[in-house]
Amino acid sequence: GDAAPQQSVFSQAGTYKLRFEVWRAALSEGAAPAKVASEDYSLEATAGELHSIQIEEMELNENDMRIGHMITAITLRLCDKAGNAIKVDSSKVHVEVAAALFTEKGAPRTDGAADGCVLAWDPKNGKGCIRADGDNLRLEDIFIVSGPAAKWRIRFSVTLGDKTVSKNGTIEIRHGEPASFSLIQRPSEGEGAAAPQGPLEFTNLQSLPTLEWEVKDVCDNVCTNLD
């Protein structure tokens, strides 16, 4: 923290050596003072109050970024005002994870509930887990429940003691597993001609035209790059 009167402040967490020296004042004018004694002490300076969060790593693969899959792990570092990492017991910190559609800088931010961006992560109720990982916190098994296939903004809010800080990250969410499909009926003749309605009718020995199917997941996202 900031130095108060008669106090000292450490700029960096670590082990410091403090030396106390006792000097005898000069006995006469022009004489030099004499050191009587000195003593050394070691002091361990720990990080200060929670000030910011850094997203150290997002462990993602192709499946992690899909509706209905887990984000394997996201690593956060808690820092004090000087940037020192704060080591904490994972049971003594409260973390919330929320999502909304990504918006460009300066544009109004959207609401995650209205966007339909839903994540499931609640370690206290058995959904995912949080654990200490060296100087960091590791959030594991964040489930992507539902939402549009688009770029999402994920907000991490961390409370330690009476301090709460937040940090945003972005992730590109892809469609989930195919859940439904429908036939795309193209216009039969001429540009602008209406697509045929009702059952497709063919005569004997007539070749079937190319059939196109639109495949969607449970959130109505169009599935692309299907094998």
d(CA 34, CA 20): 14
Task: Report the helix count and the strand count for the chain, using DSSP H and E.
Answer: 1, 12
Amino acid 224: pLDDT: 83
Amino acid 194: pLDDT: 55
Please state the separation of Cα 186 from the chain's center in Å. Answer: 43
Amino acid 2: pLDDT: 60
DSSP character for 177? S
d(CA 217, CA 78): 37
144 has which bridge partners?
119
Cβ-contact 40, 19 below 8 angstroms: yes
Amino acid 11: pLDDT: 74
d(CA 212, CA 59): 36
Amino acid 94: pLDDT: 93
Amino acid 38: pLDDT: 95
Residue 157's alpha-carbon distances to 13, 191, 202, in angstroms, are 24, 54, 61
Amino acid 138: pLDDT: 93
Amino acid 67: pLDDT: 92
pLDDT of the chain, 227 residues: tens digit per residue: 566 666 666 778 889 998 999 999 888 888 888 899 999 999 888 888 899 999 988 776 666 688 999 888 899 999 988 888 998 888 889 999 999 998 887 777 666 667 889 999 999 898 999 999 888 999 999 999 999 999 999 999 999 989 999 999 888 999 988 999 888 866 555 455 555 566 667 677 767 777 788 999 999 999 887 77
